[in-house]
Amino acid sequence: MKSSDYILELENISKSFDNNFEVIKDISLKAKKGEFICFIGPSGCGKTVLLYTIAGFLHPSKGKILINNSEVKSIGLDRIMVFQDHMLFPWKTVLGNILFGLTNTDLDKDKKIAIAKKYLDLVDLSKFKDWPISKLSGGMKQRVAFARALVADPKILLMDEPFSSLDSIARKNLRKNLIKIWQNTQKTILFVTHSVNEAVYLADTIYVMSSRPTTIKKSYSIRLPHPRDMSNPEFIKIVKKLEKDMEIEFGLNKNNINSDASNINNILFNNL
């Protein structure tokens, strides 16, 4: 494919912090418009650092990030993060939180409200637009966070384990809701998860990441049609192959995983 066919290109991206603490090492990949990509790998390997670097919160130590052939130098509305925590404002209503995503636009009030209501409908929360955030379940709060990210019409959604704090039923429902959102908006999504089943359920492409310093160990193209059935024999076959790759990576680096996770969390806290 030509370079113009890709919305996002990472060219030999590396990221180190003080004392040469290397977290990301020489990562290159390309993402097509509308592609759903999942990153999966050991805790503390640097998946979140990679997303933060793409978002512009952190600057790469080496390499380039290109969006539509233009180099990324800082944060921008073409890339929006959805975090593990929903990061909603408890004093605002559901609608008020979503409208916040349009704060830095020149749209008039009526246009902003119309856009917000469009995405409220997409995440099936129109009936709750005037509810305070405190009255919502965890899954509903995360759907508000999805809608707030979408109102700015980003080219790319960066999602850092957005279902990690939810129970299994809420995760299952949100996975279905996210696929619906993705199919309706055709956004490019980069999604970090620790769940092999979740990655296979969601992704067009899965990148298996190594322990720190993280590199791409292997990539999988998932050709199963949506909606995907986790009991499908082909689905199970892909999951087992991925789990084997993960076991190998964990086994080779098991002594470093816990310390890496703690170190990277501390580094992110001190560098953002």
Among 74-78, 84-88, 97-101, where is mean pLDDT lowest? Answer: 84-88
Type of residue at 256:
N
State which fold the 3-78+156-271 domain adopts. Answer: Rossmann fold (3.40.50)
With CA atoms as reference, report the closest residue to 135 among 85, 98, 90, 169: 90
Residue 192 and residue 162: Cα distance in Å, rounded? 8
The pLDDT of residue 18 is: 85
Helices (H), the chain: 47-55, 94-100, 109-122, 138-151, 168-185, 196-202, 233-253, 257-271
pTM: 0.90
pLDDT in tens, 132-174: 999 999 999 999 999 999 999 999 999 999 998 888 999 999 9
> Taking 80 as the threshold, does the pLDDT of residue 260 lie above it?
no
pLDDT over 70, % of the chain: 90
pLDDT in tens, 168-183: 999 999 999 999 999 9
> Taking 70 as the threshold, does the pLDDT of residue 259 lie above it?
no
CB distance 214 to 25 below 8 Å? yes
Length of the chain, in residues:
272
| DSSP bridge partners of 192 | 39, 160
pLDDT over 90, % of the chain: 77
Structure confidence at residue 119 as a pLDDT band (50, 70, 90)? very high
Structure confidence at residue 264 as a pLDDT band (50, 70, 90)? low
User: Average pLDDT of 75-99?
Assistant: 93
Domain with CATH 3.40.50.300 in the chain: 3-78+156-271
> Taking 70 as the threshold, does the pLDDT of residue 249 lie above it?
no
> Taking 80 as the threshold, does the pLDDT of residue 185 lie above it?
yes
User: Sign of the C-alpha dihedral, residues 224, 29, 83, 24?
Assistant: positive
Among 34-38, 54-58, 180-184, 245-249, where is mean pLDDT lowest? Answer: 245-249
